[in-house]
A and B are shown apart, each in its own frame.
Chain A
Amino acid sequence: MDEDNRLKVMEWVAKEVLVHEAPLRSWLKRIVDGSEVEDIVQESYCRIAGLTDVSHIRSGRAYLFTTARMLVLERIRRARIVNIDTALELEKMDVAAEVPSPEQVAAGRLELQRIRRLVDGLPERCRKVFSMRKVEGLSQREVAATLGLSEHTVENDVAKGLKLILKAIADGDQQAEAAFIGMGKHGSA
C-alpha cells in the first residue's frame, strides 16, 4: 500500500508539478542566489516526496510554490540570504502561486506535447532508444538486442535523454527548445 501511495505521488508530480518548475525557478532567481535556486527546488521535491496522500491537493502549482516559499523563509531566518526587497518578492510569489498567467495556463496544457517534441528532438540514437522503450514498450535489454548495442549503452542513452528532458523542465519552453535544436544538430551519438 505504501508503494501504491508513493506511485500516486510520483504520478501527481509528473502531471501537476513538473510543469510549474520553470516559473518557480524564475521567481526564485529574483529572491535567492543562483546556487540556492537548485537546492530549494530539490528540497521542495523532497518535501513532496514525504507526502503520503495528494488527493486533497487542489493545485500542484500552489503547493510547489508554497513549499519553496517556506524553504526560502527558513533560509532568511538562518540569515543565509542577503537580498533587498525579499519580502516584496515573496509577496509577489504568493500571487504567482495562485494565479498563473494565461501563458502559463496554456503552457500547462501543452506540456505533454512539449515533452513529446523534446523526445523527438533527442539525438538520433537516443531518440530511437526512447521510442522503443516507451512507445513500443521493449525492455532496455530488448532494445539493446534489437539495435545491436550493449545494455550499458542503452542505459546511458536513457540517462542522457532523461537529463536533457530534466533540463528542459527546468528551463521552461523557449530556451530548452533552442538547446534541443542545437543538440540535435551536433549531438553526439
Chain B
Amino acid sequence: MSKTLTKIKKNIKKNITEDIECFKWHSSVVLEGEVDKWEDVILAGRLAANKGYKGVVNKIKVKGLNIPKIKRPLVKDNSLENRFVDILIIGGGVIGCSIARELSKWDCSVLLVEKEEDLAMHTSSRNDGMIHPGLVPKPGTKKAYFNVKGNKLYSKVTKELDISFKRIGSLILLDKNYLKVTWPLIKRRAKLNKVKGVKLLPKKELIRKEPNISKGVVGAIYIPSTGVLSPYEMTLAYGENAVDNGVKISLNTIVKSIDKIKDKIVSVKTNRGKVYPKLVINAAGVYADYIAEMAKDKFFTIHPRKGEIVLLDKKRGAFIESVLANLDLSIKNSKTKGGGLVKTIEGNILVGPNAYEQPFKEDYITNKESVDKMLNSHLSIIPKLSKSDVITYFAGTRAATYEEDFIVERSEYVKNLVYAAGIQSPGLASAPAIAKEIEKISIDILKKQMNLKMKIDWNPKRKKAPKLNSLTLEERNKLVKERSEYGDIICRCEEISKGEIIDALNSKIPASSIDAIKRRTRAGMGRCQGGFCMPLITKIIKEENKTHMTNITKKGKSSFILVEETKCSNKEGEN
C-alpha cells in the first residue's frame, strides 16, 4: 500500500471506523465498507479527497439505508433505434444544453438525451439564478477559472439568446467584528481570481444602495459583476437555439447501458432504442457518476448536497436591489454556501439557498426545520420582511464531488468520453465557459476521426416568445391587435395571457405539462400559486394539444392533475 493510501486509511480509522477498505483503481482511490450514518460516508469521502488521487470513488454504504434507484421515464419505444450520431450529450440541464448550443456551430450531428419530460427539471430549475462573480472559489481551481470566465460571457450570450439578465451586484454585509479583518482578505482573493471592481462600501453608501437594510450592518463589500437571470429560461434558450441549429433533443430518454469495445464506447442503449455515437458527453448532473460507471470509468462520486430556497411575494420585491449575504455565510467555507437574499430577475426576493448533505439525488422534499432556520437568519437582513411574505419554497441538489471542483475534461481511460461533471455551484455562472471548453475538447477529438467544419449558416441568435407584461403598453397593444389571445389574461398574479401559454405549447421545445408552461411563462408562479389559473391552463392544453383532460400532468410521468370525469359531467366547451 502506498504511503498516501495508508495515510487516508489511518485518518478514516481515527475519525470513523477501521472497517473501510481503501484501494487504488486507475488514478482514483476507492473506499468500500459499511458505516452507521450518512455523515460518516461524507466524512470518509472528504478525508480521502485531494490527497493526490484524481478522484474519490466512495462506495461506502450505510447500514439499513436504502437509496432509491434513478427515476425513469414511462415511455418505451424505438424512436432512436439504430441512430448514428457524431455526438451524444447525456443530460438536458444548463450544462448539457449550453454544450449542445456551442457544438451546433459545427457541421456534425448532435443528439441530446434527457430522462425527464422537459429540459431543466432538476438542478437547473432548482437554484437561485445567481451569476456569481467568482470571488468565493479557491484561486487556481476550475471553479474559479470557469466562474469568472462564464460570468463575463453572460453579457454576450444573454443578448444573443434574448434572455433578461441584470448585473445587480452583490453585497457581502459586514458587522463590526469583521469589517477590518475581512477587507484585505477579500481584496487579495478578488485579485487572484481576477474579479474586477470589488470595493468596500461604508455604511452611508450601503444605505444609499439598500435603504431597508438592518441597522446592525456597518458596511459591505460590493461586487458589481454579480448578475441574475432565470436559470430554466436560460437552459431552454440554449436548448432552443441548439435545436434551431440542427441539434436533436430527445426528452423522456434515459441511458440504460453503455457498450464498449476496448477503450471506446460503441453504443448507448436507451429506453427509446440504441444510439451509436462517435463521442459521448456526460453532462448528467447528479447522475454523472452513474453514467461514468456504465462506461466502467467511475473515477469520482457525486454526493447530492441539498439546498432549499424560499420565494417571497413580488409586492415585497422593492425592498432590495441586489444580492445580500451575511459574511459568515458566503466566504468562509466554499463547501457550505449559506445564501442570502437575492432580488430575482422577475422582481421577487429569493431567500437561500441553504446547504446540507443527504443521500438522495432526486429527493426534493423540503424540511420545516431547515427552512424555518434559514428564514429566521436571512429575513432579519431586511427587517421589513416577514414569514407571511412567503409564496413558495422548493429544494434542489448540487452535483458535488468530494474534490469539490468541476470535472471538465476528456476521460483518461475511455477515448470517446468527455466529462462536464461535478458541476455544482457556481455551475450556472460557469456554464457558458464550460460549454466552450467542452466544445474545444470534443471537436479536437472528433477532428481526428472526421472532416469537421464550422457551419456557414450557424445562427447564434434566438428570439424569445413575447412576454407581454414586460413590454410597453403600445407594444403590448399592437400584439393584442394582431392576436387577441394576448389580451386574454389567464394568470392574474403574473399577468400571463392565453397567447403566451399557447406559445409555450408550440415552442421549439414544446411544453406539455403544467410545470413546463410555468417555467416558460411564469403562469402559476404568483401569490395564488396557480389556484385560479391551473384549471384554465389544463383546459388550454387540452384544446391546443387535442388531448383528454385526464392525460394532462403537472410534470410528466404519472403526475396527472385529474382522476376521471364526474359521473354526470356536462363538459363545458367540449364536444
A and B part of one assembly: no
Using a CB–CB distance below 8 Å, which chain A residues touch chain B? none
Using a CB–CB distance below 8 Å, which chain B residues touch chain A? none
